Chains A and B, each alone.
Chain A
Amino acid sequence: MNALALHRDAIVIDEVRLDEARRIAGAVVDPEIPVLSIADLGVLREVRLNDGRIEVLITPTYSGCPAMTMIALEIELALEQAGFGPVTVATVLSPAWTTDWMSEDGRRKLTEYGIAPPVRGAGRRALFGAEEVACPQCGSLDTSRLAEFGSTSCKALWRCNACLEPFDYFRCH
Chain B
Amino acid sequence: MAATETAPAQRDDRLQTSGLVRRLLNRPELGAAAGAIAVWLYFAIRAGDSGFLSKSGTASYLEVAAELGILAVAVSLLMIAGEFDLSIGSIIAASGMTIALTYDQWGWPLPAGIALAVALSLLIGFLNGLLVVRTGLPSFIVTLATLFILAGATIGITRAVTGRTQVGGLAEAGGYDVVHKLFASSIGGFSVSIAWWLGVAAFATWVLLRTRFGNWIFGVGGSNAAARNLGVPVDRVKIMLFMATALAACLVAVIQAVKFGGTDVLRGRGREFEVIIAAVIGGTLLTGGFGSAIGAVFGALIFGMVRQGIIFTGVDADWYQVFLGTMLILAVLVNAYIRRKAAESRR
Partners in one complex: no
Using a CB–CB cutoff of 8 Å, the interface residues on chain B facing chain A are none
Using a CB–CB cutoff of 8 Å, the interface residues on chain A facing chain B are none
